[in-house]
């Protein structure tokens, strides 16, 4: 079977902030604390389809009292099952890489990482979608959650990316001023998940996120309160 790759890159940005107001219909993600409360600094998380397996890999830059990672899977993003567990290193200031394989994947599934510390506190990364198909998927963006308060983190999930295209993410305030941007040349993934701490540098209000990939453009709003 021809190998089809779907990559998800997850990069942790620690000094970016925003705020919130009125939410859109984007799906939210629970955040149980400030960045100082989270025992793991996650550098990236990627998943790709290879033959009849889903391969997953992630990396931490540091760990503090980290217990383990649960790998969870769902067909509808409502009901999640834990399909595996990987023990964390506990305490570390060095880069550590982890891997996991799903040997019995679904034809269409969502995956997420649940990181748990020794006290039971946890943080969710994802979900991301993996599909056994060659069909063209349009560029789509989700801001999870799209409404945040101080100390809270949000995640931008992009799907339908074409590998080899450049990716541009820009954020503007309600005056049309660009306050943040990121540019990636020749992206190597079809899905991209970016967690961001958005509550430290920007005042309350509405912010507009403009995403460009090749000739495709999509826009989203972020509310800070």
Contact 188, 4 (CB under 8 A): no
Cα separation of 225 and 211, whole Å?
Answer: 23
Dihedral of CA atoms 11, 36, 111, 207 in degrees, nearest 10, equals -60
Residue 134's pLDDT is: 62
- Give Rg (Cα) of the chain: 17
Nearest CA to 35 among 3, 67, 12, 56?
A: 12
Residue 165's pLDDT is: 87
Predicted confidence pLDDT, tens digits, the chain (225 residues): 444 333 344 333 333 333 333 334 343 333 444 444 557 887 778 777 777 888 888 888 899 999 999 999 999 999 999 999 999 998 999 999 999 999 988 888 899 999 999 999 999 988 888 887 665 667 889 898 899 887 687 888 888 887 788 989 999 998 899 988 888 888 777 777 777 777 677 888 899 999 999 889 999 999 988
Q: How far is CA 150 from CA 199, 217, 224, in A?
A: 5, 29, 8
- For the chain, domains (ranges, CATH) are 8-224 (2.60.40.1930)
Residue 136's pLDDT is: 62
- The label of the residue with tokens 């994802």 reads 126
The two structure tokens encoding residue 22: 């009125």
DSSP-based three-state secondary structure for 36: helix
Cα separation of 55 and 159, whole Å?
Answer: 18
> Residue 36: CB partners within 8 Å, gap ≥ 6?
none
44 forms bridges with which residues in the sheet? 59
Cα separation of 129 and 134, whole Å?
Answer: 14
- The label of the residue with tokens 């217990």 reads 67
The number of CA neighbours under 13 Å toward the Cβ of 189 is 22
Nearest CA to 158 among 130, 191, 207, 180?
A: 191
pTM recorded for the entire structure: 0.62
- The label of the residue with tokens 């779907």 reads 6
The two structure tokens encoding residue 193: 């998940």
């Amino acid at each position: 079977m021809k190998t089809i790759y779907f990559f998800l890159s997850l990069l942790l940005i620690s000094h970016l902030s925003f705020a919130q107001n009125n939410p859109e219909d984007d799906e939210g993600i629970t955040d149980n604390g400030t960045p100082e409360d989270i025992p793991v600094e996650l550098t990236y998380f990627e998943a790709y389809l290879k033959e009849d397996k889903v391969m997953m890999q992630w990396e931490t830059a540091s760990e503090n009292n980290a217990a383990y990672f649960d790998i969870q899977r769902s067909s509808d993003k409502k009901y999640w099952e834990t399909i595996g567990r990987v023990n964390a290193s506990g305490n570390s200031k060095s880069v550590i890489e982890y891997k996991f394989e799903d040997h019995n994947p679904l034809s269409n599934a969502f995956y997420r990482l649940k990181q748990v510390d020794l006290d039971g506190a946890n943080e969710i990364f994802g979900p991301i979608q993996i599909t056994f198909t060659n069909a063209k998927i349009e560029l789509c963006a989700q801001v999870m959650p799209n409404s945040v308060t101080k100390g809270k983190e949000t995640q931008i999930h992009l799907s339908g990316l074409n590998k080899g295209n450049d990716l541009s993410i820009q954020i503007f305030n309600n005056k049309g001023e660009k306050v943040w941007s990121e540019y990636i040349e020749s992206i190597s993934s079809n899905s991209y998940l970016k967690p961001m701490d958005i509550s430290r540098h920007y005042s309350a209000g509405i912010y507009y996120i403009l995403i460009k990939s090749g000739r495709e453009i999509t826009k989203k709003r972020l509310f800070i309160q």
